[in-house]
Structure 1
Amino acid sequence: MIVLPDTQSAGAREHAELVCRSVSNTQFTHVGIENEPITVSVGCATAYPHMGGDIHHLIDEADRALYQAKMNGRNRTSVYSAGIAEIQ
């Protein structure tokens, strides 16, 4: 989990995509995966003051977004916003 204070959904997506690019552009050396690219998928959720401070709800939304990202292929970012997962 990465917490980005004072960051809107668009900013969170930018950070997530940077993480995805950084991981996929890094050469990792490990027994058995030397030539396989390593990628990550990221799920983002944004907490807004009017939604209260329910951390469990926020984690559920991020988890839903992560699940959507993984279902749509490798190296994806999904932002969960108002019940809709937007995949990039």
Structure 2
Amino acid sequence: MFDESAFVARYGGEEFGILLPRANQYEAIKMAEAIRQQVQQRAIIHQASDVFKCVTISVGIMTVVPSEHIQLISIVHGADQALYEAKRTGRNRISAYSHHKEADSNV
């Protein structure tokens, strides 16, 4: 699923980050959806949840075109905003944010 340039790390208690240096936004969304579906298909019971009976994941995606003007914190912030948009709009879904020199856009 991941190529050799991918990097996966825990980021916070229940959050994980996946860096995909060779992926565009379409590829990142496709990969995130595959992961989301695999988690859902496992049907792991989540007794403490009032939202879903089983464990699900919400995914925030941030894509950027590399540039010396983009700060790491803005990439993390964009991914975090996208994650909370996915949670706010119903959970068990993907939200993407893209930062390009020309314009910002939400997907």
Equivalent residue for 2:88?
Answer: 71
The number of residues matched between the two structures is: 84
Cα distance in 2 for residues equivalent to 1:40 and 1:29? 13
Q: What TM-score results when the alignment is normalised by the length of structure 1?
A: 0.81
Identity %, equivalent residues: 33
1:84 and 2:105 matched: yes
Query: Is 2:45–2:53's contact at 8 Å kept on the other side of the alignment?
Result: no
Segments of 4+ in structure 1 off by > 6 A? none
Q: 5+ residue gaps in structure 2?
A: 1-16
Q: By percentage of residues, which structure has more strand?
A: 2
Q: By percentage of residues, which structure has more helix?
A: 1
Equivalent residue for 2:77?
Answer: 60
Query: Is 1:44–1:80's contact at 8 Å kept on the other side of the alignment?
Result: yes
What is the CA RMSD across the aligned residues, in angstroms?
Answer: 2.0
Q: What TM-score results when the alignment is normalised by the length of structure 2?
A: 0.68
Query: Is 1:45–1:80's contact at 8 Å kept on the other side of the alignment?
Result: yes
Q: 5+ residue gaps in structure 1?
A: none
